[in-house]
Structure 1
């Protein structure tokens, strides 16, 4: 658990159950919103990546310049990173022809390098120490790589591995449950378990998003990408409201 002083210094939310639920809604939204722009509006993966990259950089600059945790800025930056991750992964995997497995391999290496360089320069990769621009740069760089990786992994599991959307959801949800079990039953580093779980929420969101908006003959529910995105954004907003209310109540004690 974070101490009260850490909570004040840190610019990220407390890692609670509501955090993980919000993160899954955000990553699912990233998949449906990314596909809405690149596919439904026919902007293509590359142009959509430029659009979302601009939005991401806008919120990232505001987030880094902020002197304290701001739920709107934090989750807006998360959403922006997951949407740009969706279209970037699709561009690399499909338009450049690298494929889901190749794209996943490249991104696993990038996530690993980001974490290693962060640890070597700062001595910690804990999410509870995000209290300086340099540390925050590593934090968001790792998140962006992981969001992109998650899209590639989700597509690989559903398509290349032949699990389908339901199979992919079971796989990644099961791995997240395994992380929870390891958290309560072992002494494995809480920081490593955090990043493993954080990364796994992205492919889970990717396959859930595809399940919602892909055609029925492809194993999806054929929902409108825009409708699904608005619903997910609404659910996420409720989670952030609950989280803020809990934090305010907790701080008043």
Structure 2
């Protein structure tokens, strides 16, 4: 019996994907702060952003095919609510940055573990059913939140926003070198890069909006968020569809029997 093929509704992992990912994370950092530092406050602002994320993620999961605008709306919403979720324990509950980073690291690892146990793989090429896509978006949200916490932790340990940005940029460069020059698990490298691209965007966002006394440019949060959102939208609308996606699907039957390092999307980066 032939194996049934399914179409994914997630983006291809290409160089353009990573550029758009960093733009979206920078947007999320600024937009998240703009909302939670507004009259809404931390709790209401976080709940509003969470509701937006759930709504667009549900629309994405329910869609019949890949829509770049919808996909990147979920990514942007995830980075925005991730900022609020990472900030809430520190700002409101008084948790130290190392505690929030550790907590969200454990949650992200738990999500990946449960996803792997339930479906047999955490590879992008297997995100081809509502169930798997739900795991994907939960893990994305937690990894975005973890990335925000890591960025705040690094920025507040003496590095400052600029030093932390250089740190995470260097870490991503190391991951790129490992991808091109070693045979280390492509899947592990993908998720490591996905997580670490978030604090890079977060620290870049903070550099834009923090006052000069903190080494930033002191730009207005609302206008900066709008500008970054416009840049991301321009990428979504102008980058050819064949480059953006959808990702090539792995056959669902027998997916567990194949090595995750053979994910065609990670091999094509």
TM norm structure 1:
0.92
| Residue 42, structure 1, aligned to residue 70, structure 2 | no
Structure 1: runs of 5 or more not aligned: none
**1:192-250, CA deviations, whole angstroms, 9 ceiling, x for partnerless residues?**
11111000011111111110001110111000111211121121122223433444999
- Give the C-alpha shift of residue 46 in structure 1: 1.0
User: Given that residues 24 and 76 in structure 2 are in contact (C-alpha distance below 8 angstroms), is that contact kept between their aligned partners in structure 1?
Assistant: yes
* Aligned twin of 2:129: 132
* Aligned twin of 2:27: 29
Match of 2:112 among 102, 107, 115: 115
* Aligned twin of 1:146: 143
TM norm structure 2:
0.86
4+ long deviations beyond 4 Å:
none
| Residue 94, structure 1, aligned to residue 91, structure 2 | yes
Whichever structure has more helix as a proportion of its residues is 1
| Counterparts of 2:124 and 2:245, CA distance in 1 | 22
Structure 2: runs of 5 or more not aligned: 247-269
| Counterparts of 1:246 and 1:140, CA distance in 2 | 23
Where relative contact order (Cα < 8 A, 6+ residues apart) is larger, the structure is 2
| Residues 212/248 of structure 1: CA separation in 2 closer, same or farther (3 Å cut) | closer
| Counterparts of 1:95 and 1:170, CA distance in 2 | 29
| Counterparts of 2:191 and 2:239, CA distance in 1 | 21
| Counterparts of 1:148 and 1:157, CA distance in 2 | 14
User: Given that residues 29 and 79 in structure 2 are in contact (C-alpha distance below 8 angstroms), is that contact kept between their aligned partners in structure 1?
Assistant: yes
| Counterparts of 1:175 and 1:108, CA distance in 2 | 17
**1:150-169, CA deviations, whole angstroms, 9 ceiling, x for partnerless residues?**
1111111111x110011011
Q: CA RMSD of the aligned region, Å?
A: 1.8
| Residues 145/249 of structure 1: CA separation in 2 closer, same or farther (3 Å cut) | closer
| Counterparts of 1:97 and 1:112, CA distance in 2 | 24
| Residues 17/242 of structure 1: CA separation in 2 closer, same or farther (3 Å cut) | farther
Task: Write the mapping of 1:1-253 to structure 2, written as runs, cut at 5 A.
Answer: 9-39=7-37, 41-159=38-156, 161-247=157-243
